[in-house]
Structure 1
């Protein structure tokens, strides 16, 4: 259970880091704002076009009585928009990371440098185009996995009691896991860790991942919050990536507690 608190601690440390480095906070907001504008436009279009889509998809119901037709198609319109909203929440991070790859790469590097004893950050050595291709390819693979989980959980949601209690909890854990994967991938790709190994790392520390990802998912449900938390989420995920790769124990460059311990008690080791 300790890993749950550690994961949440990385989320808080990331937010503190960006607020303590205001320039990088503003820099990290740009991709989220661009994605937000795109998604708002898409959801508005979906809201206006859902009626026509449902009517086109259900021609067999044209001859139903007006009351039953209104209830049936009204439910389907709600379902289409709800699924679109769920997809938007799930893919927001992936799209933001894709748009903001150069921004978040730079932000993640700065976090690495600030906690590394020698002030350096790992570099992939790959061209930017190659990095964008890998990011887009891996994001698509994750979206497919998330979509499969979404369909399964939606179907299980119709089970009485379990569908209203256990299934939503599982949904938050699944979404939190994949959200964390997307965020840590920024730092892990620079370390040349491929998607398969990333997933293996995260599965081996599920409580750590859930402690970081689930609170973030819950906060992302509040409109516009995702935009302002993304820079700190990338920073916190970078710190978590260092932990996952065994570098976390070296993060003492900006650790005042470690400095005080060294000064007050040289023999504490």
Structure 2
């Protein structure tokens, strides 16, 4: 039995139906780290589903119309008079999934390398115009707007403007530094590069667009929650307000930016942790969803 129709249907659901459901759900903002894992799981599941769909469509079956090569043959598009060539089917079955995998890996490497190069160039600028503060464990940059961001990677660095040092209280500065340290410790730049790579390959897909946007927002919320472990909601909200207009260089992660209003509303609203059952079910979904295309291809009990 050819699994292609089931796989195509499943992949369509993941790519087009799941994103609006995730966007309407209330739990992702209450458990942002778990929500990031679910968005990535959906992206992985879609990629596997597309690859397996291509494989199953390309493989000839005893029913001519069930395979992609058979479909081309029946439409007169294979430029031959005989039945579908098994060698052509085999090449398509291997080549299309391989091309998808190579495109995703190459895109990820490209985005990681490009961001690393941008950070390296920015570090050189910081060495010229910034000054190292041992007290803050950060580089202080001359800038007349309160701002803070981090350069993640193998040589991480937190950067804060001298306006922020002058205008923020020690507690507020501590919240800023905790926020940026969370980005570095969590290697959030790699999660962002993964969604950028997925979006580059499947640019037309709602899942790719929303996964990229939501991952960036949710990772800021993860860093906010890290700062809230040792600082009050009012302190963090004040810092976010003060840094709302700040802009960060390419390849960095900043405490301010265009997501501040959403995050500010979240920080000031009454907090309610997600129910343990919901958290457990979403964690299980993050693990299981990437495996579903494989189960659909090889359902138990079928030989």
Write 1 or 2 for the structure with the bigger share of strand. 2
Larger Rg belongs to: 2
The TM-score normalised by the length of structure 1 is 0.35
Write 1 or 2 for the structure with the bigger share of helix. 1
The TM-score normalised by the length of structure 2 is 0.31
